[in-house]
Structure 1
Amino acid sequence: MPACSFKPCALPNHDFALCSPQAPTNSGLHQLSERETCSKSDIQVKNGFFSESTFTYPLNKQTQYKCKSGYVTADGNTSGLITCLQSGWSMQPVCIKSCDMPVFENARARSDGTWFKVNDSLDYECLDGHESQDGHTTGSIVCGEDGWSDKPACYERECSIPQMENNLDANPKKDTYKFGDVLKFSCIQGRIMVGADSVQCYHFGWSPNLPTCKGQVKSCAPPPQLLSGEVKETQKEEYGHSEVVEYVCNPGFLMKGSHKIQCVDGQWTALPVCIEEKSTCGDIPELDHGYVNHSAPLYHHGDLVEFRCREAFTMIGPRSVTCISGKWTQPPQCIATEELKKCKWLKIFASEGNPSDTIEFDHNTNKSYKCRGKSEYKHSICINGRWDPEVTCKEEAQIQSCPPPPQIPNTRDMTTTVTYQDGEKISILCQENYLIQDAEELVCKDGRWQSIPRCIGQ
């Protein structure tokens, strides 16, 4: 019977028995010795530590390690697991230096990462109306051993007081104007304004251009023709200074730019553009208890479909839906006529006499009323339990108009001097080789243009 002798192995706590015919038979050695445990002393966690107090682990047992603050595992976690195997620990745990997504001041990141390795860079951009101290709207920082190379901060941008001609006056008067501020102009008596009557402060400065004041102005010839569109109203042979004309696009075409142009001292402001809208709408929205007389397999931009309700049902809402850029507008509802809700009598109606036995009003009832101290009547209709418009005697806030829309950098020419009302929108078209970012429309709200799009080079 051959004897055995020991030969040490390189792995700690792991000795194999090697048979040798020269070894004494009564040496008392085991034929094979295998690892049964792993020890924490066999391994170190670089930039981290073991989170459990146990010192030795049996085979196939896992232990957790954690990274020090400012460090993460290779996959970006703050902790990891290793397993005790017959060959030793399953891996060498390593924690690497990292930077978390920084806290931005009036700025936003241009990537979606949550952590960054040393030497990784992060691009950021300032929010609208803000810029860095050196006047830029974009920047970049680098993750280093001591954290980020800089704190990304942007500051509210200001518009300087514009240079104006002597005949022009502007209000309100301030030392500085901030993003969103509106400046309104007037000419001295006897002079006529040529251009926009108001401008707004944007991240790219004042827009549109400031007006001038003249003693005389010219009239305009009929407005120019619009490719794939037409003038909404009947045309005249001559248009006076400041007269406005509105355009509409042909069915299947979408308007980009200001749909209104204005005669300004003998010249019309920039025409909009009608672009073919190739997206289509599929199936008509389903309407419970309703139907359409005719349907088509495909609907194009601007197509309209009218609904009808079945017998004993009443329609609530607009009768039709329209295909707009590949999506249907909100459909109406068909509600059982016997289930229509009534509208309650309101105290405001007391001016028309005390309520009779009937203190509720049926659907579609038209009610008129007068507010105290007012001579004109207001009207409201009962629509399925609600008065439309709202019955109220509150003073209506004056609806503010917006200045003429801005000429956004890198967009098609949309110079106009026409003011817009609250809620109106203008669709923007970028120049060639530029893509629109953020919103696609300018929105007039509370007397200023909001949701300002950007055109970014490809």
Structure 2
Amino acid sequence: MCIKYMLTFSLCFLPLETCSKYDVRIENGFLSESAFTYPLNKQTEYKCKPGYVTADGKTSGLITCLQNGWSAQPVCIKSCDRPVFEKARAKSDGTWFRLNDRLDYECLDGYENRDGRTAGSIVCGQDGWSDKAACYERECSIPEMDTYLDAYPRKETFKVGDVLKFSCSQGRIMVGADSVQCYHFGWSPKLPTCKERKVKSCAPPPQLLNGKGKEIHKEEYAHNEVVEYACNPRFLMKGSHKIQCVDGEWTALPVCIEEERTCGDIPDLDHGDVKPSVPPYQHGDSVEFSCREAFTMIGPRFITCISGEWTQPPQCIATDELKKCKGSILFPTEGKPSYKTEYDHNTNKSYQCRGKSELKHSICINGKWDPKVTCKEEAQIQQCPPPPQIPNARDMTTTVKYQDGEKISILCKENYLIQDAEEIVCKDGRWQSIPRCIEACVISEETMRKHHIQLRWKHDPKLYSKTEDNIEFVCQRGYRPVSPDHTFRTTCREGKVVYPSCG
């Protein structure tokens, strides 16, 4: 029809042969090239202004001149780059964020943000991030103390990890922990008190469900006396394994929980054999090794299954290859100078330090003395204060101090999940690797029925989800989403879940 009439009409249905620069409107961006027209199939680059990105998060994109015009209308959206974190870590691994996106962060141990919290959020706005993702070193102030309680060292403020020790004046008796430690949640355990009157003794300690006390055989226990507990096989202890009599009352009992994790195959031992045993290997189970003829065992004969992992196995070393130990000038002279003598594996030697009456003993183990032969005064190993009562953890109140290297397993309250390590460790006089007990999300079966939804991957109505874990739902059979743009993937935030709806 265009051919039949005027030429101007014949052009109306012909495809374009060029694209115009003026047909592209890029808000917050521009075309890289300066040309005004572009031939058919020509591809050109556009760039976004600083602080803006393309829909896929890049600083530039490509469009193509097609017969019907440009292939797409370029879009540059406001963005924020991943911020620099100061003594904090992000809860998301994204590298760029859209306008109004929220980024959650948490402070490193011992730090807090300006609001005095250990976690916070910042929002991507037109002028960048709403605040700095920064945390600052947390401190503990001098606590309120009993009138007769003396504390040292004396300082105005204490950093996280600092230990405060106590003594009572005027001959009074201390009741409670004699030292406390500064944590990100404050001082712990509770400060002691000083009593003038005589302290009370305790009745026999309570029984432990799925465990037992060691050497409980008395009718009365004195103030500060300690009793130690152990769990039955297949049960794992949570909390302090020692309780103490404090003015007539015992401190909190630990808890023995069934450990479902089992150990896999017994590790192989070169030149050795394991005595017959029957899997599965539960928590607390042990197996015994032996070395073949002409080989000697170095290390413990037994290994034990602990929370799904075997302890370190021994070694079998050829007996004729065992290393000798060098002598020491501290050993008594036996003919030739003792430091020129070599001693066979398993040799036990005694020696005495100048000015000391007691004998010290050491045994040669494959070329090394155990313990080390020395008369130097070793630095006194510092004890740790009684372990802390971590917020939202099961009651772990105790006044017993712990030795370097000792560990305590933490158990959170119901509906709380442990974050980071499950054990705290006594090291250099301080408790380290302090975990957090964070509120979990409990997926309600009743709420899911009400919204006509179900979990996509798991069908346990008591699913506990850690913060930032993805939780996915789907509509039950015969139902559809109430809102097409409603997300069916959500996260656990402060123990709460936003449920989608189907109808």
Please tell me the TM-score bracket, short chain as reference: 0.7 to 0.9
Q: CA deviation at 1:217?
A: 0.6
Which of 155, 162, 165 in structure 2 is aligned with 1:181?
162
Partner of 2:293: 311
Which of 253, 258, 261 in structure 2 is aligned with 1:276?
258
* Alpha-carbon distance in 2 for matches of 1:394, 1:81: 75
What amino acid is aligned across from residue 226 of structure 2 in structure 1?
Answer: V
Matched, 1:218 2:200: yes
Q: CA deviation at 1:66?
A: 5.6
What amino acid is aligned across from residue 427 of structure 2 in structure 1?
Answer: K
Question: Match of 1:299, SS?
Answer: coil
What amino acid is aligned across from residue 136 of structure 2 in structure 1?
Answer: Y
Which of structures 1 and 2 has the bigger CA Rg?
A: 1
Q: Equivalences for 1:263-412 in 2 at 5 Å?
A: 263-343=245-325, 345=326, 352=333, 360-368=342-350, 378-392=360-374, 394-412=376-394
What amino acid is aligned across from residue 237 of structure 2 in structure 1?
Answer: M
Which of 13, 28, 33 in structure 1 is aligned with 2:17?
13
Q: CA deviation at 1:364?
A: 3.2
Q: CA deviation at 1:45?
A: 6.8
Q: Equivalences for 1:60-75 in 2 at 5 Å?
A: 67-75=48-56
* Alpha-carbon distance in 1 for matches of 2:175, 2:268: 52
* Alpha-carbon distance in 2 for matches of 1:348, 1:303: 44
Q: Which moved more, 1:124-133 or 1:66-75?
A: 66-75
Structure 1: gaps (5+ residues): 15-37
Q: CA deviation at 1:395?
A: 3.6
On the 8 A contact 1:380/1:390 being kept in 2, the answer is: yes
* Alpha-carbon distance in 2 for matches of 1:53, 1:419: 76
* Alpha-carbon distance in 2 for matches of 1:136, 1:299: 44
Which of 193, 198, 220 in structure 1 is aligned with 2:174?
193
Q: Which moved more, 1:275-284 or 1:249-258?
A: 275-284
* Alpha-carbon distance in 2 for matches of 1:374, 1:276: 49
* Alpha-carbon distance in 2 for matches of 1:63, 1:317: 71
Seen in structure 2, the aligned counterparts of structure 1 residues 350 and 198 have a Cα distance that, compared at 3 Å, is: closer
Partner of 2:233: 251
Question: Match of 2:320, SS?
Answer: helix
Question: Match of 2:388, SS?
Answer: coil
CA displacement, residues 69-120 of structure 1 (integer Å, 9 cap, x when unaligned): 4333333344556677777766555443321221122222222222211110
Partner of 1:127: 108
Which of 85, 88, 110 in structure 2 is aligned with 1:107?
88
Identity of aligned residues (%): 77
* Alpha-carbon distance in 2 for matches of 1:49, 1:355: 89
On the 8 A contact 1:39/1:57 being kept in 2, the answer is: yes
TM-score when normalising by structure 2: 0.76
Q: Equivalences for 1:19-30 in 2 at 5 Å?
A: none
Aligned residues: 432
Q: Equivalences for 1:76-87 in 2 at 5 Å?
A: 76-80=57-61
Partner of 2:469: none
Seen in structure 2, the aligned counterparts of structure 1 residues 11 and 311 have a Cα distance that, compared at 3 Å, is: farther
- TM-align CA RMSD: 3.4
Partner of 2:434: 452
* Alpha-carbon distance in 2 for matches of 1:355, 1:71: 81
Structure 2: gaps (5+ residues): 441-503
On the 8 A contact 1:39/1:55 being kept in 2, the answer is: yes
Seen in structure 2, the aligned counterparts of structure 1 residues 53 and 350 have a Cα distance that, compared at 3 Å, is: farther
TM-score when normalising by structure 1: 0.82
CA displacement, residues 290-341 of structure 1 (integer Å, 9 cap, x when unaligned): 2112121211110000111222222222212111111111222223333434
What amino acid is aligned across from residue 155 of structure 1 in structure 2?
Answer: Y
* Alpha-carbon distance in 1 for matches of 2:33, 2:331: 78
On the 8 A contact 2:237/2:255 being kept in 1, the answer is: yes
* Alpha-carbon distance in 2 for matches of 1:365, 1:59: 92
On the 8 A contact 1:158/1:176 being kept in 2, the answer is: yes
CA displacement, residues 225-267 of structure 1 (integer Å, 9 cap, x when unaligned): 1111111124211111100000001111111111101111111
Question: Match of 2:230, SS?
Answer: strand
* Alpha-carbon distance in 1 for matches of 2:339, 2:243: 56
Q: Which moved more, 1:102-111 or 1:45-54?
A: 45-54
* Alpha-carbon distance in 1 for matches of 2:39, 2:327: 80
Q: Which moved more, 1:47-56 or 1:211-220?
A: 47-56
Partner of 1:20: none
* Alpha-carbon distance in 1 for matches of 2:227, 2:339: 53
Q: CA deviation at 1:222?
A: 0.9
What amino acid is aligned across from residue 364 of structure 1 in structure 2?
Answer: N
Q: CA deviation at 1:348?
A: 5.4
On the 8 A contact 2:329/2:339 being kept in 1, the answer is: no
